[in-house]
């Protein structure tokens, strides 16, 4: 098991949770909808890259009494995640290991797999190995849910107007831009700042490699790994193992 305490998210940890909250107001319901057929007594729910736990909240809220096993390599994000989950009455159901997806010891029977906004951290080889390791462990009908993010080809992405949120008297803002680093990869540079009125009092920059994968390509890879039924809902790719719920 690799203990991976630092990561590309070290510099952005202060900002990531705050700036992700608005996105999850809509996404929580969409993720919950993909999990309605899960049998929460069928096995363990596996989550890759929970970050600060906005996705984990959905899993804990909707899949009781299933245990959840997560792989989160960033120590900074794990600190926020653990602080948030440990304040819940059902925290005993949640275990997070300090590893990446490729290093997570997979449970023998899996009730559902979720990885939100993280698939670009896995290389094509890592995805191929992971998907073929997951498929035979899925309980009948268990879903595998990932989402993809633009761009879906390796092109330059210009920075967008900063978006942000206010806590107390301070405003927290972020923007990002990407440049191609190969035929199927870009390097994101995310820039953040903290404003007290018009005065910038702190800033941070985070760089990370991101493997490009479109929803169609991801769906094809899951089929190649043995998924019985795969559908695409905008940015989300939902695959099912074979079994009673596979054809729904």
**To the nearest whole angstrom, how small is the minimum distance from the Cβ of residue 196 to ligand SAM?**
27
Which residues are bridge partners to 205 per DSSP?
A: 191
Q: Is 60 in the site for ligand SAM (CB under 6 A)?
A: no
| Among 55, 62, 194, 229, contact with ligand SAM (rule: CB under 6 A) | 55
For residues 53 and 141, which CB has a smaller minimum distance to ligand SAM in the complex?
53
**To the nearest whole angstrom, how small is the minimum distance from the Cβ of residue 243 to ligand SAM?**
26
What are the φ and ψ backbone dihedral angles of 56, each rounded to 5 degrees?
Answer: -60, -35
Q: Give the closest residue to 206 by CA, choosing from 8, 6, 2.
A: 8
Report how far residue 70's alpha carbon sits from residue 4's, in angstroms, rounded to the nearest whole number. 14
Question: Please, where are the H alpha helices in 41-166?
Answer: 54-62, 75-86, 124-134
Q: Is 217 exposed, middle or buried (0-12, 13-18, 19+ CB in 10 A)?
A: middle
Q: Is 101 in the site for ligand SAM (CB under 6 A)?
A: yes
Q: Is 148 in the site for ligand SAM (CB under 6 A)?
A: no
Taking residue 1's Cβ as centre, other Cβ atoms within 10 Å add up to 9
Q: According to the 3-state scheme, what is the secondary structure of 193-221? A: EEEECCEEEEEEEEEEEEECCCHHHHHHH
**To the nearest whole angstrom, how small is the minimum distance from the Cβ of residue 73 to ligand SAM?**
5
Q: Is 34 in the site for ligand SAM (CB under 6 A)?
A: no
Q: Is 174 in the site for ligand SAM (CB under 6 A)?
A: no
Which of the stretches 29-37, 69-77, 167-175, 223-231 binds ligand SAM when contact is defined by CB under 6 A? 69-77
Which of the stretches 48-56, 153-161, 185-193, 213-221 binds ligand SAM when contact is defined by CB under 6 A? 48-56
Q: Is 141 in the site for ligand SAM (CB under 6 A)?
A: no
Q: Which residues bind ligand SAM (CB under 6 A)?
A: 7, 9, 20, 48-51, 54-55, 71-74, 77, 100-101, 116-118, 121-122
């Amino acid at each position: 098991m690799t203990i991976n305490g630092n990561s590309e998210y070290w510099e952005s940890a202060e900002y990531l949770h705050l700036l992700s909250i608005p996105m999850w107001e809509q996404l929580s319901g969409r993720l919950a909808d993909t999990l309605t057929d899960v049998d929460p007594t069928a096995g363990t729910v596996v989550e890759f890259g929970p970050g600060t736990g906005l996705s984990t909240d959905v899993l804990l809220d909707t899949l009781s009494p299933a245990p959840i096993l997560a792989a989160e390599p960033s120590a900074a994000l794990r600190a926020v995640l653990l602080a948030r989950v440990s304040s819940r009455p059902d925290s005993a159901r949640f275990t997070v290991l300090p590893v990446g997806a490729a290093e997570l010891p997979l449970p023998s029977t899996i009730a559902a797999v979720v990885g939100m906004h993280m698939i670009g951290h896995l290389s094509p080889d890592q995805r191929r190995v992971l998907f073929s390791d997951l498929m035979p462990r899925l309980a009948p009908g268990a879903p595998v849910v990932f989402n993809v993010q633009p761009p879906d080809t390796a092109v330059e992405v210009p920075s967008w107007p900063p978006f942000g949120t206010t806590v107390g008297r301070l405003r927290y803002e972020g923007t990002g831009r990407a440049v191609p680093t190969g035929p199927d990869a870009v390097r994101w540079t995310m820039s953040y700042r903290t404003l007290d009125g018009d005065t910038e009092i702190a800033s941070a920059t985070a760089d990370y490699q991101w493997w490009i994968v479109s929803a169609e390509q991801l769906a094809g890879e899951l089929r190649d790994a043995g998924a019985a039924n795969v559908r695409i809902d905008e940015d989300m790719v939902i695959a099912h193992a074979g079994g009673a719920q596979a054809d729904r």
